[in-house]
Chain A
Amino acid sequence: MLAIKSLSKSFDKGKSYALENVTFDLKAGDVCAIVGESGSGKTTLVRLIAGLERPDHGSISLDGNIIASMDKFVQPEKRKIGLVFQEYALFPHLTILDNVLYGIFKLKNKKARAQEMLDLVGLGEMGKRYPHQLSGGQQQRVALARALAPGPSLLILDEPFSNLDAMLRMQLRNEVFDIIKKTGVTVLFVTHDTQDALSVADEILILQNGKVVQKDAAANLYVKPNTLYVASLFGNTVQINKNLQSAFHCPLNEECCHAIRNEKIKVNPAALDSDCDYITHAKVIKKIVLGDSIQLLLKLDSGEQLTVMTQDKNIEDTITIGFNSKDILEFNE
Chain B
Amino acid sequence: MKQAGSNDQAFAFKSRVKRFLRDANKWSVFTLTIVLFLALPIIFIGVELFSGPGETWSHIVKYLLPDYIWNSLYLVFFCSLIVLLLGVSSAWFVSRYEFPFRKQMEWLLILPLAIPSYIVGYAYAGIFDYGGTLDLIFRELNFEFIRIDIMNRAGLAFVLSISLFPYVYVSARAFFLNQANNLLEASNMLGVGERKTFFKLMLPLARPAIVAGLVLVLMEVLNDYGAAKYYGVNTFTTGIFRSWFSLEEPETAVYLSALLIIIIFALILFEKWQVRKIKFTSSKTNNKQIQRKEPKKSRKWLIFSLVFIPVFLGFVLPVAQLIYWSFLTASTVFDIQFIFISLQSFGIAITSAIITVFFALLLIYFSKWSALRFIKNIARVGVLGYAIPGAVIAIGIMIPTLALDKWLIGVLANFGIDSGLIINGTLIALFYAYAVRFLAVAYNPIESTALKVDNSIPDSSKVLGVGNLKTFFKIEFPLIKTGVFSAVILVFIDVMKELPLTLILKPYHIDTLAVKAYEYASDEMVMEAAIPSLFIIFTAMIPVIFLNKLLIKK
Contact = CB atoms under 8 A, between A and B. Distances in A.
B448 interface: no
Nearest to A6: B3
Given A70-B18, A150-B465, 10 more contacts: A51-B463, A52-B463, A54-B371, A70-B15, A76-B463, A77-B464, A77-B465, A80-B465, A85-B456, A89-B456
B372 to A, nearest CB: 10
A77 B466 contact: yes
B454 interface: yes
Interface of B: 1, 3-5, 12, 15, 18-19, 21-23, 371, 454, 456-457, 459-467, 474-475, 478-479
Contacts of B4: 8, 10, 14, 17, 20-21, 56-57
B460 to A, nearest CB: 4
Contacts of A50: 459, 463
A91 B461 contact: yes
Interface residues of A, number: 39
Given A14-B4, A85-B459, A89-B459, A54 B467 contact: no
B467 A75 contact: yes
Contact of A57 (B3, B371, B457, B459): B3
A316 interface: no
Interface in A33-83: 50-52, 54, 56-57, 70-73, 75-83
A92 interface: yes
The 8 A-B pairs at the shortest CB distance, nearest first, are namely A103-B464, A89-B456, A8-B4, A89-B460, A76-B462, A85-B456, A83-B463, A70-B18
22 contacts: A8-B4, A14-B4, A14-B5, A14-B12, A21-B3, A50-B463, A54-B371, A70-B19, A71-B21, A77-B463, A77-B464, A78-B465, A85-B460, A89-B457, A92-B457, A93-B478, A102-B466, A103-B464, A103-B465, A146-B460, A147-B464, A150-B465
Interface in A136-191: 146-147, 150
B460 A83 contact: yes
Given A56-B19, A146-B464, A76 B459 contact: yes
A14 B3 CA distance: 11
A81 B463 contact: yes
Interface of A: 6, 8, 10, 14, 17, 20-21, 50-52, 54, 56-57, 70-73, 75-83, 85-87, 89, 91-93, 102-103, 105, 146-147, 150
B454 A87 contact: yes
Contacts of A83: 459-460, 463
A272 B383 CA distance: 82
A81 B1 CA distance: 29
Nearest to B464: A103
Contact of B5 (A17, A51, A103): A17
Given A70-B15, A87-B456, A93-B479, A75 B462 contact: yes
Given A70-B19, A91-B475, A93-B479, A105 B459 contact: no
A83 B455 CA distance: 14
B454 A102 contact: no
Contacts of B462: 51-52, 75-77
Contacts of A54: 19, 22-23, 371
Contacts of B460: 83, 85, 89, 146
B278 to A, nearest CB: 25
A105 B465 contact: yes
Contacts of A105: 465
A79 B462 CA distance: 10
A216 B153 CA distance: 80
B475 to A, nearest CB: 6
Nearest to B12: A14
B518 to A, nearest CB: 45
Scoring A10, A17, A71, A146 by chain B CB atoms within 10 A of each residue's CB, the highest score goes to A71
Nearest to B467: A77
B376 to A, nearest CB: 13
Contact of A82 (B12, B22, B463, B475): B463
A73 B22 contact: yes
Contacts of B474: 102
Nearest to B462: A76
Contacts of B457: 89, 91-92
A231 B104 CA distance: 65
B466 A71 contact: no
A132 to B, nearest CB: 13
A56 B14 CA distance: 12
A93 B457 CA distance: 11
Contacts of B23: 54, 73
A103 B466 contact: yes
Contacts of A6: 1, 3
B464 to A, nearest CB: 3
A53 to B, nearest CB: 9
Nearest to A52: B459
Nearest to A98: B474
Contacts of B478: 93
B469 to A, nearest CB: 11
A102 B1 contact: no
A102 B461 contact: yes
A102 B5 CA distance: 42
Contacts of B459: 50, 52, 76, 83, 85, 89
A69 B12 CA distance: 15
Contact of A89 (B12, B22, B454): B454
A82 B18 CA distance: 28
A84 to B, nearest CB: 8
A71 B463 contact: no
A20 B3 CA distance: 9
Scoring A72, A76, A78 by chain B CB atoms within 10 A of each residue's CB, the highest score goes to A76
Nearest to A156: B463
Contacts of B12: 14
Contacts of A77: 462-467
Contacts of B479: 92-93
Nearest to A10: B4
A20 B4 CA distance: 7
A157 B207 CA distance: 45
A287 to B, nearest CB: 39
B18 A71 contact: yes
A208 B397 CA distance: 56
Contacts of B466: 77, 102-103
Scoring B4, B371, B466, B478 by chain A CB atoms within 10 A of each residue's CB, the highest score goes to B4
A70 B4 CA distance: 12
A44 to B, nearest CB: 13
Scoring B457, B460, B461 by chain A CB atoms within 10 A of each residue's CB, the highest score goes to B460
A87 B457 CA distance: 9
A83 B459 CA distance: 9
A83 B3 CA distance: 29
Nearest to A13: B373
Nearest to A76: B462
A80 B465 CA distance: 7
A190 to B, nearest CB: 14
A146 B456 CA distance: 14
Contacts of A86: 456
Contacts of A147: 463-464
A80 B464 CA distance: 7
Given A54-B371, A57-B15, A103-B466, A70 B22 contact: yes
B9 to A, nearest CB: 12
B478 to A, nearest CB: 5
B495 to A, nearest CB: 31
A102 B461 CA distance: 8
A80 B466 CA distance: 11
A32 B467 CA distance: 29
